[in-house]
A and B are shown apart, each in its own frame.
Chain A
């Protein structure tokens, strides 16, 4: 089967004309590597494949003479499966760019493979700020958000409104650790204090023992350094344990629109968190969300989907400008060209691969404030692009000189 496919692809390469001299096999192949079935499937997953497809449509690849193909794959939140799939895609399927990859542990493994093979990695799903920090590579773009930005937005806002003592519930892998680390730094800087933390395995169903520890810590704020299904479960169970009614407050450090949808406004109301994008902010976003939801079973896009759309669009622009799909060269071009797209507006990509844009502090509406399904957020503050992300010289990225 594989053999046959390879044969067909190579035959196609030989017979096809070369409109773009340096584009290997005259085809840009986008591999959307995501969690297709697990706890992150709603916030990334099949929706990310759709977002990438919409980007290709809007770029009008056909009209511009670019052959673009999209494939999707499930990394099952396992670093070994993810990196194997990435390697196989690049070696046998001639994939040029890998997109999304929620789950920082998998993303860091994929980043290694992509760097080895000199392809491109558009990180939208993963949060760990190490992707543009100590582990940055010349083949990565980190588009949507990162743990530093989340900590900076949410941590600052909560400590300044009086949440001085914190207890962390942390997902026990690269992402959770990075989020806890970055948030702790923000808390300490603002005069708050972390009184303890507990780490839970990824994809936990039963949070009772962790929540009891959080309760016993008497911290004012229980910080949830987890995501997706884990956040949903911990918030639900926290309300069952009476954490909030007992006087402690929850801080969801990474909450997605789909999480709020799953929780319902009754449980989620009042949560404060930081996001990069929300569908109901301007007409362009609303139009995109409508179009997206129509093809996604009515589910609205999260910021990750928006990020996938915008980053794929920018990638294709760079490929077209460069007339090449060489990994390092395209990423360099992406950094050089200012970004502009309907969803994130104008922005830039820093030398460490960080895309710079505004971040927003949202609060979940009360049930009576919401006008209908998916109308969940109200804007509390806009964090301007210049302050939203970690300063370039603090990340220890080897690509940043001096």
Chain B
């Protein structure tokens, strides 16, 4: 069935390239040192979104499928993880009573994250098997529609807390050993999760499976004619992407002790597209860089609102938070007009290296 093919793209040698190794070492060593001089909660936010963008990039960068509904997996995994960590008990309502009740105690963080990830994988399987039947804009619209459907479900479902979200989620004790309420323990947990998932994505991209994905991206009819069941590959990639997104979403819920509508709403789906595009579609490090730039910008602008009102006795209207979408839009336009490969993509192209 799967015919061996030698027509691999020339730019994809199966060995690890030096440039990637150096970039990886730089990234990891930065992340190890960074919490000493950067606020760790902020770094954890960056890592969660970097993982989200990398997972998203697996789909758009390597299969060429633009999903506009990844907030579905991100938001729902964080709801599920938060619920499992805080309440635990699962009851599925049926008419006026409860249909299935699983009396779980509040779960430790590792199980909560696993639970959130599993739900994201399941949703990925359902959404993916519907969406991959269409291509291009239709694919994007199907994913958006499904995501919005689940957004409204999250808005109304009692366990999500509607506008309030699930608040006060306990961070708990990881594996019964590591107390996550210690900020450094929490940070290095997130760090390990990020690095493991990052390496996993790297492994997927350069596996024979990943090569087939790239073949589908470049020329799907040709991949079909070579005997690949492209639908299956696309579905597998979709589920993998959704699952890894789920890891990011669940981790975020544990870090911030909160799951809210922001993560499941459609602007989140747009934001991850922007992060990936800015960093570089189809590059290994691009999405992570793009995510850190966007998050840093949001963070800086939100706190740039801290204007002390001692300026000549005038009251200043201060809402730079409002400007975030405008600036993001401008960046998006500039990125599309001037450097379409994204930051990392342009650098890689300039030096003729793989990143």
* Residues in chain A near residue B38, CB distance under 8 A: 2-3
Name B32-64 residues within 8 Å CB distance of A.
37-39, 41-42, 45
Report which of B39, B310, B314 forms a contact with A2, defined as CB distance below 8 A: B39
Does B159 sit within 8 A of A, measured CB to CB?
A: no
Interface presence of A280 (CB below 8 A): no
A304 → chain B, closest Cβ, in Å?
16
Q: Does B135 interact with chain A (Cβ within 8 Å)?
A: no
Q: How far is the CA of A36 from the CA of B260 in the complex (A)?
A: 20
Q: Is the beta-carbon distance between B317 and A88 smaller than 8 angstroms?
A: no
Most buried by B among A1, A37, A296: A37
Please, how many angstroms separate the alpha-carbon atoms of A172 and B162 in the complex?
A: 7
Report Cα–Cα, A207/B299, bound state, in Å.
34
Tell me if A153 is interfacial: C-beta within 8 Å of chain B: no
Tell me, rounded to whole Å, the shortest Cβ–Cβ distance linking A107 to chain B.
Answer: 10
In the complex, A85→B306 CA distance in Å?
11
CB–CB B155/A201 < 8 A: yes
Say whether, besides A112-B167, A112-B168, A174-B163, A71 and B302 are in contact (CB < 8 Å). Answer: no
Task: Answer whether residue B313 sits at the interface, using C-beta atoms and an 8 A cutoff.
Answer: yes
Q: Is B300 an interface residue, CB under 8 A from the partner? A: yes
Q: Which of A46, A70, A74 contacts B315 (CB 8 A)?
A: A46
- Please state if B165 and A69 are interface contacts (CB–CB under 8 Å): no
The reply to whether B256 and A83 form a contact with Cβ atoms under 8 Å apart is yes
B91 at interface by CB-CB < 8 Å: no
- Given the interface pairs A37-B319, A79-B164, A79-B258, the reply to whether A69 lies near B308 with Cβ below 8 Å is yes
Q: Which residue of B lies closest to A53 (CB)?
A: B309
Contact A74 B164 (CB under 8 A): no
* Docked pose: A81 CA to B257 CA in angstroms: 12
How far apart are B172's CB and chain A's nearest CB, in angstroms?
14
Given A46-B315, A78-B260, A91-B41, A73 contacting B164 (CB threshold 8 A):
no
Q: Report if A72-B41 is in contact (Cβ < 8 Å); known contacts: A79-B258, A108-B164.
A: no
> How close is A365's CB to chain B, nearest CB, in angstroms?
28
* B260 closest partner in A (C-beta): A80
Tell me which residues across on chain A come within 8 A of B315, comparing CB atoms: 46, 49-50, 295-297
Nearest-neighbor residue (CB-CB) of B42 within chain A: A88
What size tier do the contact residues of chain B reach?
35 or more
Which residues on B sit within 8 Å (CB–CB) of A202?
163
Could you say which of B162, B256, B262, B308 has the most chain A C-beta atoms within 10 Å of its C-beta?
B162
Contacting pair B321 A37 (CB below 8 A):
yes
Given contacts A71-B308, A72-B307, contact A105 B317 (CB under 8 A): no
A288-316 to B contact mask, C-beta < 8 Å, 1/0: 00000001110000000000000000000
Say whether A81 contacts B302, CB under 8 Å. yes
Q: Within 8 Å CB of B308, what residues of A?
A: 69-72
B303 in the interface (beta carbon within 8 A)? yes
Which residue from chain B places its CB closest to the CB of A92 in the assembled complex?
A: B39
Among B41, B162, B314, which residue has its beta carbon within 8 angstroms of that of A88? B41
B101 within 8 A of partner (CB): no
B322 interfacial contact with A, CB 8 Å? yes
Contacts of B162 in A (CB 8 A): 172-173
B327: CB under 8 A from chain A?
no
Residues from 239 to 274 in B contacting A, C-beta threshold 8 Å: 256-258, 260-263
Chain B contacts of A36 at CB under 8 A?
A: 305, 317-319, 321
Question: B316 contacts the other chain (Cβ, under 8 Å)?
Answer: yes
Is there contact, CB below 8 Å, between B256 and A80? yes
Binding site for B on A (CB under 8 A): 1-3, 36-37, 41, 46, 49-50, 53, 69-74, 76, 78-81, 83-85, 87-88, 91-93, 104-105, 108-109, 112, 172-174, 201-202, 295-297
